[in-house]
């Protein structure tokens, strides 16, 4: 009898050890119910519960994974351990309609984290399915307010609106939505072709505008170059003319100075010899004038003024002056 009782106690102790000790990993937790009602939430480490009267709450969870071919595989399981880390959900593509009645396919990524395990267990029956359906319906409402062009160019706006709505709606479930991303936006094939044609036309238009702007700038630069070249040429010509005029003026000044010195020397010589300098100078001028009167190869005089007789007298006086010397 004692052996049977001892054996029963040993079995009971083993059951207690197996069922009563719960080792919870870091970033995980378990919700414990006592006789069907919430009792407590286990913390990481070693925890002791009373078997039979204490029992972990089982919840339905869904895992989304990709196989080797890249297709999304959904696996459902009943779990007792709740992961408190941030969870990524890659939702399957869904068809939504824009404001301009274009049906497009969108694939969304959702990053969320359980902050209150108790509410995540008791406030919602199936948390992953609830988050997915809420994301899909909210995304349809947001895209329905935008046309196709705004949908393709306003991803950040859509992500921000979607995150704000989901975060507010899932707060009572003990869930924090950290980030929402639109991974793929796929318009229909016909719309894609039209968009590509529009893109090519826009690029051609921009290329034509850039080419015209380049030609315009080139013409402007060419005209500026010609204008500057003409200005430089005119400046050079003006400087050359100025230098030439200055050179001629300087030459004339030097010739005049030389003639003045010569006349001064001759005048002084004539005065020393008691001659008439004025008559001498007039005679020289007449001789120069007679050189211009001579024309033709035979050196014939074509015109002889009346005053030539006085010229001859001056020439005679010059002869007398040199004879005196």
The per-residue pLDDT for 116 is 92
Which pair of structure tokens corresponds to residue 47?
Answer: 């925890």
> How deeply is 81 buried, as exposed, middle or buried, from its count of CB atoms within 10 A (0-12, 13-18, 19+)?
middle
Indicate the range of 48-52, 236-240, 271-275 predicted with least confidence. 271-275
CA distances from 44 to 60, 61, 173 (A): 22, 21, 22
Q: What are the b/e assignments for 224-249, b being 16+ CB within 10 Å?
A: eeeeeeeeeeeeeeeeeeeeeeeeee
Q: What is the largest CA-CA distance in the chain?
A: 189
Q: Does 102 or 15 have the greater pLDDT score?
A: 102
Question: What phi-psi label fits residue 12: left (phi over 0), alpha (psi between -120 and 50 degrees) or beta?
Answer: alpha
The whole-number average pLDDT for the span 92-112 is 85
pLDDT tens, position by position, 176-196: 988 888 888 888 777 777 777
Tell whether the model's pLDDT for residue 269 goes beyond 70.
no
Confidence check: pLDDT of 97 > 60? yes
Q: Which long-range contacts (CB under 8 A, 24 or more apart) does 142-148 make?
A: 143/96, 143/97, 143/98, 143/104, 143/106, 144/96, 144/97, 144/98, 144/99, 145/99, 146/98, 146/99, 147/98, 147/99, 147/100, 147/102, 148/98, 148/100, 148/102, 148/104, 148/187, 148/191
Q: What is the pLDDT of residue 257?
A: 82
In sequence order, the 6+-apart residues with CB closer than 8 A to the CB of 170 are: 112, 131, 134, 176, 177
86-92, long-range: CB < 8 A, 24+ apart: 86/111, 86/112, 86/113, 86/178, 87/111, 87/112, 87/113, 87/114, 89/64, 89/128, 89/131, 89/132, 90/64, 90/66, 90/183, 91/64, 91/132, 91/135, 91/136
Where does residue 206 rank: exposed (0-12), middle (13-18), buried (19+ CB within 10 A)? exposed
């Amino acid at each position: 009898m004692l052996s049977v009782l001892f054996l029963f106690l040993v079995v009971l102790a083993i059951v207690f050890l197996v069922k009563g000790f719960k080792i919870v990993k870091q970033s995980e937790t378990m919700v414990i119910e006592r006789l069907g009602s919430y009792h407590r939430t286990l913390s990481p480490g070693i925890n002791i519960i009373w078997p039979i009267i204490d029992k972990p709450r089982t919840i339905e969870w869904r895992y989304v994974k990709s196989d080797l071919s890249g297709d999304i595989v959904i696996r459902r399981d009943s779990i007792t351990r709740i992961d408190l880390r941030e969870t990524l959900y890659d939702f399957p593509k869904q068809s939504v309609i824009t404001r301009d009645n274009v049906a497009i396919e969108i694939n969304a990524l959702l990053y969320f984290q359980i902050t209150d395990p108790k509410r995540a267990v008791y406030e919602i029956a199936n948390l992953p399915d609830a988050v997915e359906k809420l994301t899909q319906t909210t995304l349809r409402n947001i895209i329905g307010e935008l046309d196709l062009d705004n949908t393709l160019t306003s991803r950040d706006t859509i992500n921000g609106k979607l995150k704000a709505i989901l975060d507010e709606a899932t707060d009572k479930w003990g869930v924090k939505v950290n980030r929402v991303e639109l991974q793929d936006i796929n318009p229909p094939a016909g719309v894609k072709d039209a968009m590509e044609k529009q893109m090519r036309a826009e690029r051609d238009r921009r290329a034509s505008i850039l080419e015209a702007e380049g030609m315009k700038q080139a013409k402007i630069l060419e005209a500026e170059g010609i204008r500057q070249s003409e200005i430089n040429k005119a400046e050079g010509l003006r400087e050359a003319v100025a230098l030439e005029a200055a050179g001629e003026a300087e030459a004339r000044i030097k010739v005049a100075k030389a003639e003045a010195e010569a006349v001064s020397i001759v005048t002084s010589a004539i005065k020393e010899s008691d001659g008439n300098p004025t008559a001498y100078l007039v005679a020289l001028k007449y001789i120069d004038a007679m050189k211009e009167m001579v024309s033709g190869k035979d050196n014939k005089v074509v015109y002889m003024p009346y005053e030539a007789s006085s010229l001859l007298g001056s020439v005679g006086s010059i002869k007398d002056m040199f004879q005196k010397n």
